[in-house]
Amino acid sequence: MKQTIHNFTQNPKNDILSGLTVALALVPEAVAFSFVAGVDPLVGLYGAFMMGIVTALFGGRPGMISGATGAMAVVMVHLIKRGNEIGASLAQPVEYLGLQWLFITLLFVGGIQILAGVFRLGKFVRLIPHSVMMGFVNGLAIVIFLSQLNLFKKKVNGSLEWLQGNPLYIMLGLVALTMAIMYFLPKLTKKLPAALIAIIVVASITIFGKVDASTVGSFIEEGGGKGLEGSLPTFQAQIFTLFHTITGHWDLILSTAFILAAVGLIESLMTLNLIDEMTETRGSGNRECVAQGTANILNGLFGGMGGCAMIGQSIINVNSGGRGRLSGVVAAIALLLFVLYGAPVIEQIPIAALVGVMFMVVIGTFAWSSFRILHKIPMADTIVLIAVSAITVWKDLAVAVIAGVIISALVFAWKNATMIRARKRLKEDGTKVYEIWGPLFFGSIQNFNAKFDVKNDPNKIEIDFIESRVNDHSGIEALQNIAKKYINAGKEIKLTHLSPECKLLLLKSNPKFETIIETAIDDPRYHVVTDQLDKEV
């Protein structure tokens, strides 16, 4: 009970203030990602609320923030566009068909994510190499920075153009002021969240000083929205009509669902891992999978955009002192209250203040130490770090992480493939002993086979695995093949110091191998190794 309360709030004041700060930052992010996905801003805002409240209460760790995200929005847009095209082609067009398809897809997304948690797949995030993590955060910082540059543009005659003259100078000045407050205020006092104070100060200057600056309200209107006081689209299609339009398009919906689920889980679990390192605590990846899935199902049922963990907002929350679940709950509820009751006030917040906050997040997120260590780490890790950063900017976070893990795994396999060794010696009775050192797996089979000279070896052969481990089925096959070669050549062979699981697999594949597996060797080193293997298994 005490631990539950501790996780909910370690410091109520800090959690509440940081939650309010995050809620303010969530508004333009959710609106922007709604435009990317091609849905009404309110769909994104309500989606951010449902994601936020569910994951704050039941997610993998306290202090992490979830909402509508760009990584998932860029996947959704193709589904929504296709659905709208089909809806428009019907004799009686179905309004918002693409959006309804999205809601159905989110049900599958949630189910897939819940299954990932049930089958405990969340633990695999711990296998992500450090070089991939550094590349990930660097790429993320660049993506956040580039996304904020679009806010320095204004729609003119239907197209976006860079701000010029006074509007640009005002925007730059307010951004600089926001960043200065966030940088210097913590040096004076850490009792107040710098991001929230910066937003309040800059908003007060623009409102009471009547400064002509772009605001949240103008940003929504320029994007084609109707403000935060609008209403969700009304769905006029009957269930039968809706499912009738899906016939022949299940492949699109299911494939999109799997991609969305994968993107959401990867980004969420990477965020969890990053916040774990920042706070020196440990969350539960499997619990996060279930919470994310539940939240996406609720979004599908009640008309939200869906989403996943938000790295930028999570960092803002943690840096502002939000370490308990209360901070996430406050952020979600405050966001809902902003939409329902505080729209006139929120719409007056200058975009420049929120851009300044995100620029400080970029500075705090980027792993500046990576520049210092590039020439100190192995070349393979350097390549992985740079590649993941570049792919994150070029494609998206999920593709970058998958590519980084694959590259790292291939490098690891290549290095281990060259580590297999065979020390050779002769016993007094003329038996030739091959003492194998290093892992035997699919990558090292070729080098393993090259160690033996079946034709010229004596009649008695012993292959000793006391310093080796057979790691996969390919290794088992290699052992079988080399044993058959010696047997077919009319020579006697013994396999010694095999691990118990390797013996079992060999005997299951061919019971005749019982005659060549040595099981009664009294060697102190052997007992130590097998005991350790038993513990690992």
Q: What is the pLDDT of residue 3?
A: 60
| Domain, as residue range, for 91 | 14-162+214-314+322-345
Residue 392 lies in a domain: no
- Of 150-159, 234-243, 281-290, 484-493, the poorest mean pLDDT is in 234-243
pLDDT score of 511: 80
Q: With 80 as the cut, is the pLDDT of residue 46 above it?
A: yes
pLDDT surpassing 80 at residue 306 = yes
Claim to verify: residue 338 and residue 431 sit in the same structural domain: no
Q: Which one is predicted more confidently, 144 or 134? A: 134
Half-sphere exposure in the Cβ direction for 250 (13 Å, CA): 4
Q: Is 121 strand, coil or helix?
A: helix
Residues 6+ away with beta carbon under 8 Å from 32: 70, 147, 150, 219, 223
Residue 374 phi, psi (nearest 5): -55, -40
Whole-angstrom distance, CA of residue 29 vs CA of residue 6: 30
Residue 383 domain-assigned (yes or no): no
Residue 522, pLDDT > 60, answer: no
* Confidence category of residue 174, pLDDT binned at 50, 70, 90: very high
Report percent pLDDT > 70 for the chain: 90
Q: How large is the average pLDDT for residues 292-318?
A: 91
523's enclosing H/E stretch is none
How large a percentage of the chain has pLDDT more than 90? 31
Q: Is the pLDDT of residue 218 over 70?
A: yes
> How much is the pLDDT for 335?
92
In a domain? residue 511: yes
What DSSP assignment string belongs to 51-64?
Answer: HHHHHHHHSSSTT-
Angle at 135 between CA 133 and CA 139, to 5 degrees: 120
pLDDT given for residue 241 in this prediction: 56
Looking at every residue in the chain, the average pLDDT score rounds to 84
What is the reported pLDDT for 109?
A: 96
pLDDT at 528: 39
Instruction: With a cut of 50, say whether residue 358 has pLDDT above it.
Output: yes
Q: Of the given ranges (74-88, 190-204, 517-531), which has the lowest mean pLDDT?
A: 517-531
In whole angstroms, what is the distance from residue 323 CA to residue 18 CA? 9
Q: Which residue has the higher pLDDT, 220 or 463?
A: 463
Higher-confidence residue of 195 and 397: namely 195
Judge if 337 and 447 occupy the same domain: no
Comparing 248 with 443, the larger pLDDT belongs to 443
Residue 172 belongs to some domain of the structure: no
Considering the entire predicted model, what is its pTM?
A: 0.71
Of 15-19, 327-331, 348-352, 413-417, the least confident: 413-417
Q: What is the DSSP string of 115-164?
A: HHHHTTGGGGGGGS-HHHHHHHHHHHHHHHHHHHHGGGEEEETTEEEE--
Question: Which pLDDT does position 127 carry in this prediction?
Answer: 76
What distances in angstroms separate CA 285 from CA 114, 199, 267, 480, one per listed residue?
A: 11, 33, 11, 40
Asked, for residue 85, whether it belongs to a domain, the answer is: yes
Considering the domain architecture, whether residues 335 and 435 belong to the same structural domain is answered as: no
**382 in a domain, yes or no?**
no
Q: How far apart are CA 36 and CA 225, in angstroms?
A: 12
CB atoms within 10 A of CB 159: 8
Residue 378 placed within a domain: no
- Give residue 230's pLDDT band: very low, low, confident or very high (50, 70, 90): low
Same structural domain, 331 and 236: yes
Number of domains present in the structure of the chain: 2
Check residue 325 and give its pLDDT.
93
120 versus 514: which is more confidently predicted?
120
Give me the pLDDT at residue 293, please: 96
12-37 average pLDDT score: 84
Regarding whether 152 and 55 lie in a shared domain, the answer is: yes
Q: Are residues 341 and 434 in the same domain?
A: no
Distance CA 7, CA 95 (A): 44
Q: Is residue 141 part of a domain?
A: yes
Residues 335 and 479 in one domain: no
- The pLDDT assigned to 176 comes to 96
The CATH number of the domain where 464 resides is what?
Answer: 3.30.750.24
- At residue 432, the pLDDT reads 94
In a shared domain, residues 295 and 432: no
Claim to verify: residue 298 and residue 440 sit in the same structural domain: no
Question: Per-residue pLDDT tens for 390-446?
Answer: 988 887 777 888 888 899 888 888 888 888 889 999 998 899 999 999 888 888 999
Angle at 59 between CA 56 and CA 63, to 5 degrees: 50
Same domain, yes or no, for 338 and 449? no
User: Do 337 and 467 belong to one domain?
Assistant: no
Half-sphere exposure of 93 (CA within 13 A, CB side): 9
Higher-pLDDT residue of 188 and 397 is 188
- How far apart are the C-alpha atoms of 210 and 16, rounded to whole Å? 30
| pLDDT over threshold 90, residue 113 | yes
Same domain, 148 and 253: yes
